[in-house]
Amino acid sequence: MPYCSKDNDGHAPLCLLHAVYLVFGASGGIGSALVKRLASKGRASAVVLSDINDDKLQQLKRDFHGKGAAVDALAADAQSPEEVRAGGMLAAPC
């Protein structure tokens, strides 16, 4: 069953289906809030965290381990296609 919520402007609901989500900037304020929301209460089946700060990233992964979704982490700079590709997130150049 998807999780659906209405935005503050009364627009159509946003439905997040059970899927795999990739969150860049996961250890920052907005990123970690998004991970928390996705990884809890069955809103996602898996969440892949990515950030340049590996220490914070690994701590975030430990924090959400076993909280509802499978969580994995990849230290990479999202602005670097080479780093993202090396982590297996891009199969071919964009």
pLDDT at 3: 53
Check whether domain 15-79 has CATH 3.40.50.300, yes or no: no
| Domain range annotation of the chain | 15-79
For 26-71, write each residue's pLDDT tens digit. 988 999 888 888 877 666 678 888 899 989 989 988 888 777 778 8
> What residues contact residue 33 under an 8 Å CB cut-off, 6+ apart?
none
The reported pLDDT for the residue numbered 4 is 56
Q: Which residue has the higher pLDDT, 2 or 58?
A: 58
Mean pLDDT of the chain: 75
Q: What angle do CA 28, 21, 75 make, to 5 degrees?
A: 50
The four Cα atoms 37, 88, 25, 17 give a dihedral, to 10 degrees, of: -20
pLDDT, residue 6, reads 54
